Chains A and B, each alone.
Chain A
Amino acid sequence: MSRFPVENIRNFSIIAHVDHGKSTLADRLLEMTGAIAKTERNKQVLDKLQVERERGITVKAQTASLFYMYNGQTYLLNLIDTPGHVDFSYEVSRSISACQGVLLIVDANQGIQAQTVANFYLAFEAQLTIIPVLNKIDLKNADPERVASQIEKVFDIPKEDCIRISAKLGTNVDQVLEEIVKRIPPPVARGDEPFKALVFDSTFDHYRGVVTNIALFGGQVSKGDKIMSAHAGKVYEVNEVGILRPEEQPTDRLYGGQVGYLIAGMKEVKEAQIGDTLFHQKHPVEALPGFKPAKAMVFAGMYPVDQSEYSSLRSAVDRLTLNDSSVTVQRDSSHALGAGWRLGFLGLLHMEVFNQRLEQEYNASVIMTVPTVPYKAVFSSAKLIKGHRGVQKNMVYIDDQRVMMKYLFPLNEVIVDFYDHLKSLSSGYASFDYEDAGYQPADLVKMDILLNGKPVEELAMIVHRDKAYSSGKALCERLKDCIPRQLFEIAVQAAIGSKVMARETIKAYRKNVLAKCYGGDITRKMKLLKKQAEGKKKMRRIGNIEVPKDAFISVLKRKDK
Chain B
Amino acid sequence: MFVLLKCSPGLCVLRTMLSVKTGTCRFRAALSRYRYRSGETRGNASGSGFEQETEKKCGRLSEEAAIYVHWPYCLRRCSYCNFNKYISRAVSQATMRECLERETETLLHLSQVSRITSVFFGGGTPSLAPPSTIAAVLETAARHAHLPGDAEVTLEVNPTPAGASSLGDFKVAGVNRFSVGVQSLHDEDLRVLGRDHSSQDALRTVAEAQRLCPGRVSVDVIFGRPGQTAGLWETELEELLSVCDDHVSLYQLTLERGTYLFKQVQAGLLGVPEENTMAQMYDSARRILGKRGFLQYEVSNFARNGAVSSHNMNYWKAGQYLGVGPGAHGRFTPREEGRVLREARTQTLEPDVWIKEVQRWGHGTRRRIPLEHLELLEEVLLMGLRLAEGVSHEHWRQFSPDADLQKVLGTSIEVQELQDRGLLVLDDRGLRCSWEGLALLDSLLPPLLLQLQEHGGQKGARG
Q: Say whether A509 faces chain B, with CB atoms less than 8 Å apart.
A: yes
In the assembled complex, which residues on chain B have CB atoms less than 8 Å from the CB atom of A512? 439-443
Contact B300 A520 (CB under 8 A): no
Contact A530 B68 (CB under 8 A): no
Of all chain A residues, the one with the shortest Cβ separation from B451 is A533
Of all chain A residues, the one with the shortest Cβ separation from B325 is A519
Docked Cα-Cα span, A523 to B421, in Å, equals 29
Docked Cα-Cα span, A514 to B445, in Å, equals 12
Contact B254 A515 (CB under 8 A): yes
Q: Say whether A49 faces chain B, with CB atoms less than 8 Å apart.
A: no
Q: Say whether A517 faces chain B, with CB atoms less than 8 Å apart.
A: yes
| Nearest CB on A from B435, distance (A) | 12
Are A509 and B445 also in contact (CB < 8 A) when A520-B321, A520-B330, A521-B329 are?
Answer: no
Q: Say whether A439 faces chain B, with CB atoms less than 8 Å apart.
A: no
B264-284 CB contact bits vs A (8 Å, 1 = yes)? 000000000001101110110
Are A519 and B328 also in contact (CB < 8 A) when A487-B440, A511-B439, A513-B438 are?
Answer: yes
Are A520 and B315 also in contact (CB < 8 A) when A509-B440, A513-B440 are?
Answer: yes
Q: Say whether A207 faces chain B, with CB atoms less than 8 Å apart.
A: no
Q: Say whether B357 faces chain A, with CB atoms less than 8 Å apart.
A: no
Chain A: how many interface residues by the 8 Å CB criterion?
28
In the assembled complex, which residues on chain A have CB atoms less than 8 Å from the CB atom of B363? none
Docked Cα-Cα span, A242 to B46, in Å, equals 84
Contact B315 A517 (CB under 8 A): yes
In the assembled complex, which residues on chain B have CB atoms less than 8 Å from the CB atom of A537? 450
Contact A511 B282 (CB under 8 A): yes
Contact B300 A516 (CB under 8 A): yes
Contact B382 A522 (CB under 8 A): yes
Picked from B120, B321, B378, B386, the residue with its CB within 8 Å of the CB of A517 is: B386
A512-544 CB contact bits vs B (8 Å, 1 = yes)? 111111111111011001101101110000001
Of all chain A residues, the one with the shortest Cβ separation from B318 is A522
In the assembled complex, which residues on chain A have CB atoms less than 8 Å from the CB atom of B423? 487
Contact A513 B299 (CB under 8 A): yes
| Nearest CB on B from A452, distance (A) | 16
In the assembled complex, which residues on chain A have CB atoms less than 8 Å from the CB atom of B250? 515
Contact B446 A533 (CB under 8 A): yes
Q: Say whether A510 faces chain B, with CB atoms less than 8 Å apart.
A: yes
Contact B275 A510 (CB under 8 A): yes
Are A526 and B379 also in contact (CB < 8 A) when A512-B440, A515-B251 are?
Answer: yes
| Nearest CB on A from B81, distance (A) | 10
Contact B449 A530 (CB under 8 A): yes
Docked Cα-Cα span, A505 to B366, in Å, equals 46
Contact B382 A525 (CB under 8 A): yes
Contact A533 B453 (CB under 8 A): yes
Contact B446 A529 (CB under 8 A): yes
Q: Say whether B383 faces chain A, with CB atoms less than 8 Å apart.
A: yes
Contact B122 A519 (CB under 8 A): yes
Q: Say whether B406 faces chain A, with CB atoms less than 8 Å apart.
A: no
Contact B251 A516 (CB under 8 A): yes
Q: Say whether A312 faces chain B, with CB atoms less than 8 Å apart.
A: no
| Nearest CB on B from A545, distance (A) | 13
Docked Cα-Cα span, A511 to B435, in Å, equals 12
Contact B382 A509 (CB under 8 A): no
Q: Say whether B131 faces chain A, with CB atoms less than 8 Å apart.
A: no
Are A515 and B446 also in contact (CB < 8 A) when A520-B323, A522-B382 are?
Answer: no
| Nearest CB on A from B456, distance (A) | 12
Q: Choose among A507, A513, A533 the residue with the greatest number of B CB atoms under 10 Å from its CB.
A: A513
Picked from B254, B439, B446, the residue with its CB within 8 Å of the CB of A532 is: B446
| Nearest CB on B from A89, distance (A) | 52
Are A529 and B445 also in contact (CB < 8 A) when A517-B315, A522-B382 are?
Answer: yes
Q: Say whether A175 faces chain B, with CB atoms less than 8 Å apart.
A: no
Q: Say whether B447 faces chain A, with CB atoms less than 8 Å apart.
A: yes
Docked Cα-Cα span, A142 to B293, in Å, equals 90
Contact A518 B83 (CB under 8 A): yes
Q: Tell me which residues from 17 to 47 in chain A have a Cβ below 8 Å from any Cβ of chain B.
A: none
Picked from B68, B283, B328, B450, the residue with its CB within 8 Å of the CB of A533 is: B450
| Nearest CB on A from B157, distance (A) | 16
A160-202 CB contact bits vs B (8 Å, 1 = yes)? 0000000000000000000000000000000000000000000
B315-334 CB contact bits vs A (8 Å, 1 = yes)? 10000010100001111000
| Nearest CB on B from A123, distance (A) | 62
In the assembled complex, which residues on chain A have CB atoms less than 8 Å from the CB atom of B432? none
Contact B70 A519 (CB under 8 A): yes
Docked Cα-Cα span, A449 to B321, in Å, equals 52
| Nearest CB on B from A535, distance (A) | 8
Docked Cα-Cα span, A525 to B449, in Å, equals 13
Are A513 and B251 also in contact (CB < 8 A) when A487-B421, A523-B344, A537-B450 are?
Answer: no
Contact A511 B279 (CB under 8 A): yes
Q: Say whether A486 faces chain B, with CB atoms less than 8 Å apart.
A: yes
Q: Say whether B252 faces chain A, with CB atoms less than 8 Å apart.
A: yes
Are A515 and B421 also in contact (CB < 8 A) when A522-B382, A533-B453 are?
Answer: no
Of all chain A residues, the one with the shortest Cβ separation from B375 is A526
Q: Tell me which residues from 26 to 72 in chain B have a Cβ below 8 Å from any Cβ of chain A.
A: 68, 70
Contact A520 B68 (CB under 8 A): yes
Q: Tell me which residues from 241 to 265 in chain B have a Cβ below 8 Å from any Cβ of chain A.
A: 249-252, 254
Of all chain B residues, the one with the shortest Cβ separation from A530 is B449
Docked Cα-Cα span, A226 to B453, in Å, equals 64
Docked Cα-Cα span, A395 to B451, in Å, equals 67
Are A515 and B300 also in contact (CB < 8 A) when A522-B383, A537-B450 are?
Answer: yes
Contact B68 A511 (CB under 8 A): no
Docked Cα-Cα span, A529 to B346, in Å, equals 20
In the assembled complex, which residues on chain B have CB atoms less than 8 Å from the CB atom of A521? 329, 346
B177-209 CB contact bits vs A (8 Å, 1 = yes)? 000000000000000000000000000000000
Are A511 and B440 also in contact (CB < 8 A) when A519-B70, A519-B328, A520-B331 are?
Answer: yes
Of all chain A residues, the one with the shortest Cβ separation from B280 is A510
Of all chain B residues, the one with the shortest Cβ separation from A544 is B417
Docked Cα-Cα span, A520 to B324, in Å, equals 12
In the assembled complex, which residues on chain A have CB atoms less than 8 Å from the CB atom of B120? 519
Of all chain A residues, the one with the shortest Cβ separation from B423 is A487
| Nearest CB on A from B187, distance (A) | 23
Contact A509 B443 (CB under 8 A): yes
Contact A515 B275 (CB under 8 A): no
Contact B300 A511 (CB under 8 A): no
| Nearest CB on B from A454, distance (A) | 17
In the assembled complex, which residues on chain A have CB atoms less than 8 Å from the CB atom of B278? 511
Docked Cα-Cα span, A519 to B120, in Å, equals 9
Docked Cα-Cα span, A513 to B321, in Å, equals 24
Contact A529 B382 (CB under 8 A): yes
Of all chain B residues, the one with the shortest Cβ separation from A519 is B122
In the assembled complex, which residues on chain B have CB atoms less than 8 Å from the CB atom of A515? 250-252, 254, 299-300
| Nearest CB on A from B140, distance (A) | 20
In the assembled complex, which residues on chain A have CB atoms less than 8 Å from the CB atom of B254? 515
Docked Cα-Cα span, A171 to B249, in Å, equals 84
**Chain A interface (Cβ < 8 Å from any Cβ of B):** 486-487, 507, 509-523, 525-526, 529-530, 532-533, 535-537, 544
Contacts A514-B441, A520-B328 aside, 13 further interface pairs with beta carbons under 8 A come to A509-B443, A510-B279, A511-B440, A514-B442, A516-B251, A517-B315, A520-B68, A523-B344, A530-B449, A532-B446, A533-B445, A533-B449, A536-B447
What are 19 A-to-B residue pairs whose CB atoms are below 8 Å?
A: A510-B276, A510-B280, A514-B441, A515-B252, A515-B300, A518-B83, A518-B122, A520-B68, A520-B323, A521-B346, A522-B379, A523-B329, A526-B375, A526-B378, A530-B378, A530-B449, A532-B446, A533-B447, A536-B447
Q: Which 7 pairs of residues, A with B, have the shortest CB-CB distance?
A: A510-B279, A511-B279, A533-B449, A513-B441, A515-B251, A532-B446, A520-B329
